[in-house]
Amino acid sequence: MVVRVRICEGRFAVLIREPIREGNFIIQPKVDFDISASTVAGLLKLGYQAVAYIEASAVIYQDGKILIEVDHLQGVTNPYIQIKGTNKEIVSSAASSLSLDGSYTTKSYLQIILESLPVDDNVTAGIHNQQAARLQELVEFIQSQGGSFNSDLSSPIRENSSTDGVLDDLQSRIKRLERWNTINMVLWTILLSALVGYSLYQKRRH
């Protein structure tokens, strides 16, 4: 499972994403929660590997119905606009009002960045050398924060017990999130199937 960690204004958050793509739309149930740097270090200790680093800034506009996010990705010339909402027609209408028809993509930002790189600049991990260096710096910083697991350096037994307890709790939380995310996907699939079935039924009646 892919786990995204967002860093914004010094705060860490885990983002669980399993999007369902339908035409030009991304239906994306989400599960997010704030964590500490030491918890991210715990993820690395559990065997998760940092494989990509994306630096971006965003300007957000919103009203009661939609949210428009203008994202600027490092290394990508043009900004990308995300229009988010719970009603497809309103989202589609907003896109048309902004003259975005025909320019839609459902690719992830990681895919967009990789495709924008010259072939010679791609490395094994799939990211640019500069990004790889920044990612390594970030991982080293996070790992250094893992020391906060240890409550007393003079007591190795208590250290191990405390660390194991935190890691076990973290692993349990991730498993619960994975189960919840699976349930979300099943429910969305059932809902979409029901809507498609009802739409076909209505067309046959007419």
Q: Where are the domains of the chain?
A: 1-53+127-206, 56-123
Instruction: Measure the CA–CA gap between 146 and 161, rounded to whole angstroms.
Output: 14
pLDDT tens string, the chain, 206 residues long: the values are 667 888 887 788 887 767 788 888 888 776 777 888 778 887 777 777 777 778 889 999 998 889 999 999 887 888 999 999 988 899 999 999 999 988 899 888 878 877 776 665 444 444 556 666 777 777 787 777 665 544 433 444 344 444 455 556 666 666 666 666 666 666 656 666 666 666 666 667 66
pTM of the prediction? Answer: 0.57
The helices-and-strands tally (H runs, E runs) of the chain is 5, 8
Token pair in block for residue 152: 């007393």
Surface-to-core class of residue 18, CB atoms within 10 Å of its CB (0-12 exposed, 13-18 middle, 19+ buried): middle
Instruction: Measure the CA–CA gap between 58 and 70, rounded to whole angstroms.
Output: 5
